[in-house]
Amino acid sequence: MGGRAFTDRMGMGPARTVQRRRTGRLAGWLAGAVGLALAAGGALVAAPPSPPPAAASVGGTSVTILIERGDATQGFSTPTVTVAGDGTLSVTNLDTYDHTVTSVALDSAGVPLFDVKVLHGTTMAIPAVDGLASGTYEFYCRFHPNMRGTLVVDRAGGGTTGVEPAYDQSLVVPSVLTGSHLRLRMREAHVRVLPTGPRTPMWTYAGTWPGPTIRRPAGRDTRVTFINDLPRGAGAMSVHLHGDHHAAKDDGQPTRFLIQRGRSRTYHYPLTYGGEPEPSSFFWYHDHRMDHTARNNWRGLQGMFVVKDADGRTLRLPTGARDVPLMVADRSFNEGNRLANPFAAGPQMVHRHGEMRFTGEHAPPNDATTGTHVLVNGRYLPHLDVSATRYRLRLLNASSASAYTFALSDGRPLIQIGTGNGLLPRPVARPELLLGPAQRADVLVDFHGEEGTRVALRSVPRTDSTAGTGSRTAPLMQFRVQGAARDPSLLPTRLPTPELVRAPRRVTKTWRFDLTGDPRTGSAWTINGRAFDPDRVDHRARLGTVERWRLRNTSDVTHYVHIHAEQWRTLSRDGRRPPPWERGLEDTWKLDPGEVVEVAARFTDYTGAFMIHCHMLDHEDHGMMARFDVVP
Ligand SMILES: [Cu+2]
């Protein structure tokens, strides 16, 4: 765990010894100072008043969770806090990033027991702690979920505790469209998201969130007409079919070929690659309008797209109702179940030396849009009745910023057979499976012999690395295993992997992802030091050639980088052969701080402008996108 003292996922009791960490840092001093001030008031003091070094555990009747500079990657300076009697709890944030202190446990309405956003350089009280019963409560930061801690409440009398989710809504599987020319009207609709109360007004593709799932055979010409009937103020839209290979004019360009309000546009998807049918894939379609992609996706402009080839039949993978696409995305809500509007606070765009920069509270790096509720196919904590057979789950993370590490509650692995862009060379057992924004995985789960059991799918903290931004701790949904049924499906041991290109030795192009500037004077997420400019060509690739690209993250948060136009082979991750689940085709890669990933593709079929960008949508909107042109 990279030297971190905090290693226990399930929480630590008050009697447990906590290792000291970061000796001599401010944590110990401040905890001591807080203790001293309280001692003067006659209160119980658990933290030693002096001298430093730091104790990671603090307690008393007026307790401070301390966040210091660097904690976004190192974790809370005080990972264990104890509140005794009628004590109070607050958070002091001395970091340059905004953070939250969010309870993992949910109340009976499914809302975190406490969830406090604390801007950098401020202190916030956590009044909800007053009502908590004695016990141990895990907490984390929604923006940087690798920051985790434990709150121990030690008092007489009753109070609120966490409630296991009831999963009482049914999972909704979006309606399926299969035609060769489809029409989808973008319009406002009132969508059932939360189990009780009013429906939520959203911007939708054809009235639902997610929009209809499009299923098309590989190699069959497909046209989709999108009509923009969204409310005034929504502006022009642009639809990107994420992962697919198609012409530049059909790519959902951020500033060109837009769909103005009251107008329509038809996108052409041949579903071919170099004249051959595309591999079986799990794509998704979503808005890609410059500066507004995060807002338009948050409001609901998202849907799934499955490209089928003959693999499914020859491999005897689960089909029909046993092939379930699952789109996972987080949202927050206001009164009346209305979506919160994180975009009302800006940021403001300014220009510095001809490049865009952002100022204000929501400027980079404090622009991560996360939600308190993690939804599956647009419903909160749903369940799915399944037969005691094998299922194929297609997992999509459609969140703006949150990553999820998928795990089943009974500890059995997910059997991953594919990425979003086709099958892997062989199945990989994944006890935990991390997906950042826009990443997908194709997995098998077998419920044979488990009649009557209930298995939860949830997101757990990352254990693969502590260097990155981490994944949410959250329940997602529940499978309720009903009776046995005939199951013609098989568990494949070999898979027909799409052909992988031979890459040149030399790196053709390096793309470096970083943060530039300061939110007070203007900041931006940048690629090679520059913020996005749709009129600037940052690289030219020649049609028909194979290029090797190096992706390098020099910032101190994780990015998930997406490349348009082609389907890419992952050559290496940090100089080593990529892990087994990255040996198929990909379009979006995790880049933890300091990580270097090399990828290769042949530029095939289409010339014109395409994008490379971070798929954390606030990062994309705030500069972290570049244009490359494929030229004849
Ligand atoms: Cu990013």
* CATH code of residue 148: 2.60.40.420
Quote the pLDDT of residue 395.
98
485 lies in the same domain as 519:
no
What separation in Å is there between the alpha carbon of 439 and the centre of ligand 1?
Answer: 13
CA 558 – CA 255 distance, rounded (Å): 27
The closest alpha carbon to 147, from 466, 616, 557, 402, belongs to 466
CA 281 – CA 376 distance, rounded (Å): 20
What separation in Å is there between the alpha carbon of 531 and the centre of ligand 1?
Answer: 13
Residue ending a domain, among 444, 465, 493, is: 493
What separation in Å is there between the alpha carbon of 560 and the centre of ligand 1?
Answer: 6
Residue 21 lies in a domain: no
What separation in Å is there between the alpha carbon of 399 and the centre of ligand 1?
Answer: 13
Residue ending a domain, among 119, 154, 189, is: 154
419 lies in the same domain as 560:
no
Residue 336 lies in a domain: yes
588 lies in the same domain as 613:
yes
Residue 418 lies in a domain: yes
Domain boundaries, position 294? 165-493
What separation in Å is there between the alpha carbon of 561 and the centre of ligand 1?
Answer: 7
Residue 93 lies in a domain: yes
What separation in Å is there between the alpha carbon of 284 and the centre of ligand 1?
Answer: 19
Count of structural domains, the chain: 3
Mean pLDDT by 10 residues, the chain (632 residues): 29 30 36 32 33 54 91 91 90 94 92 94 93 94 94 87 92 97 98 95 98 97 98 95 97 94 97 92 96 96 92 84 97 95 90 92 93 97 98 98 97 96 95 98 96 97 86 97 94 84 95 93 96 97 98 96 96 97 97 97 97 97 97 97
358 lies in the same domain as 469:
yes
What separation in Å is there between the alpha carbon of 368 and the centre of ligand 1?
Answer: 9
Nearest 5°: CA angle at 123, between 117 and 128? 60
215 lies in the same domain as 302:
yes
Residue 15 lies in a domain: no
Residue 160 lies in a domain: no
What separation in Å is there between the alpha carbon of 551 and the centre of ligand 1?
Answer: 12
What separation in Å is there between the alpha carbon of 363 and the centre of ligand 1?
Answer: 13
Q: What does the block give as tokens for 137?
A: 């409560």
135 lies in the same domain as 106:
yes
CA 578 – CA 562 distance, rounded (Å): 17
182 lies in the same domain as 145:
no
196 lies in the same domain as 334:
yes
Residue 259 lies in a domain: yes
What separation in Å is there between the alpha carbon of 619 and the centre of ligand 1?
Answer: 5
All residues at 6 or more sequence positions from 384 whose CB lies less than 8 Å from its CB, including other chains: 170, 171, 324, 477, 478, 479, 480
What separation in Å is there between the alpha carbon of 620 and the centre of ligand 1?
Answer: 7
Phi-psi region of 564 (alpha: psi -120 to 50; beta: other; left: phi over 0): beta
What separation in Å is there between the alpha carbon of 97 and the centre of ligand 1?
Answer: 15
What separation in Å is there between the alpha carbon of 526 and the centre of ligand 1?
Answer: 9
What separation in Å is there between the alpha carbon of 358 and the centre of ligand 1?
Answer: 15
What separation in Å is there between the alpha carbon of 415 and the centre of ligand 1?
Answer: 28
462 lies in the same domain as 598:
no
What separation in Å is there between the alpha carbon of 615 and the centre of ligand 1?
Answer: 6
Residue 20 lies in a domain: no
What separation in Å is there between the alpha carbon of 557 and the centre of ligand 1?
Answer: 8
Quote the pLDDT of residue 312.
65
What separation in Å is there between the alpha carbon of 94 and the centre of ligand 1?
Answer: 23
CA 532 – CA 621 distance, rounded (Å): 9
Ion ligand 1 residues within 5 Å by Cβ: 559, 614, 616, 619
Quote the pLDDT of residue 87.
87
206 lies in the same domain as 298:
yes
115 lies in the same domain as 189:
no
What separation in Å is there between the alpha carbon of 45 and the centre of ligand 1?
Answer: 42
219 lies in the same domain as 280:
yes
What separation in Å is there between the alpha carbon of 73 and the centre of ligand 1?
Answer: 15
